[in-house]
Amino acid sequence: MSRKYFGTDGIRGRANGVITADLALRVGQATGLVFRRGEHRHRVVIGKDTRLSGYMIETAMVAGFTSVGFDVLLLGPMPTPAVAMLTRSMRADLGVMISASHNPYDDNGIKLFGPDGYKLSDDDEREIEQMIDADLTKKFAKSAALGRAKRIEGVHDRYIEFAKRTLPRNMSLDGLRVVVDCANGAAYKVVPEALWELGAEVIPVGVDPDGLNINHECGSTSPEALRAKVREMRADVGIALDGDADRVVMVDEQGHLVDGDQLLAVIAESWQEDGRLSKPGIVATVMTNLGLERHLAGLGLSLVRTAVGDRYVLEQMREQGYNVGGEPSGHIILSDYATTGDGFVAALQVLAVLKKLDQPLSKVCHRFDPLPQVTKNVRYKSAGGRPTEHAKVLGAIADAEQRLNGHGRLIVRPSGTEPVIRVTGEGDDPDLIEEVVDEIAAAITEVSAG
């Protein structure tokens, strides 16, 4: 069944275009009714990032939830993983994060968490979808049973203490000069404070949100400013989060970028040495570099691949019992600590290795040489059907695979959040990879134009 509202990561779209106050109200009502189980007083926690549209969506969702009898606890700007953690620790029936993650400010989204802190199942999302467009008037709470809403204090401290406890006991970051880029997003308060409490010298950037500058030329998707700042300040390490802090990339002391694949390698190797891996391997996606897979194989570790999206990584981790997983984008899930990706906790694991080995980040985080990988994003008209199903595109893909002849990988996939086809090639021959990717991208462009 194709879904009208939910994508790969909740509901996402243009604020006040797709994500309107009316939709937010109905999502609150529908979700509340689906999770109204039992006679107890139900509660939902709602966090958000720093987008201007967050005020509108938050207010509408409060109206939706209270109208079906839910009490609402408002957290204000908080990282997505903090919302998931607080949903569990505060015994809420639901958690909501209002964010479009790494997207620009004019998008927004609604991520939903069940009482266990995990994102909702496909079945739950389908049930909510059916109710969003239904007439729910007869299911509203009676006047005396309406919910209450209040902002709660102290939640920043709870997340900071949680994050600090993921480090080995008595470990200090004393002596480390850290530049941290919070993308003018949800982590702008908690992460610099947590790093300072752990003993680091902290140079914060991207901590002046104005509602419009989230992810703008900053954060994990635009790390150039961070790279420059690390070199300027002669820092030991740079940390770049995205707008809702569920992703991280790092920068070494030379200003070189360290992506999620290298971070996964560091964490997997460290956890293997400490006997902390629940199984001898990790979970990653089809986009994960083949170099990581080869490196892990040399350590006796497997790499299980899934479709792109943290929900698929997490599903595989839960089904097969792995406790480390992630994506090249830096969406890293450490299920010993969190039910979703947590960029800050992942960064802390890498900093722990840095302190333990007493080596520069450039050495700690160069575990393998990535294979050449080329990705082209091809925009298409969403009303014109799926270009990847067209005979011309299928033919170009078949020709490319024949030319690669087993010496590389090819991934052609639609984005889950926008009308874009991502064409990725990877292999030992960079010129061949570039050629086959260009040919497939040209075929998609030609089909879309027609």
- Of the candidates 183, 10, 6, the one whose C-alpha atom is nearest the C-alpha of residue 95 is 10
Q: Give the separation between CA 400 and CA 437, rounded to whole angstroms.
A: 8
Q: In Å, what is the CA distance from 374 to each residue of 247, 387, 430, 434?
A: 21, 20, 8, 6
Side by side, the strands of the sheet bearing 149-151 are 6-7, 10-14, 107-113, 94-98, 43-48, 71-77, 149-151
Distance CA 119, CA 111 (A): 8
By annotation, the residues acting in catalysis are 101
User: Could you tell me the CA-to-CA distances from 235 to 203, 218, 238 in Å, in that order?
Assistant: 9, 18, 7
Distance CA 385, CA 381 (A): 8
Cβ atoms of 282 and 296 within 8 Å: the answer is: yes
Residues 6+ apart with CB under 8 A from 215: 102, 103, 104, 105, 183, 184, 185, 221, 222, 242, 243
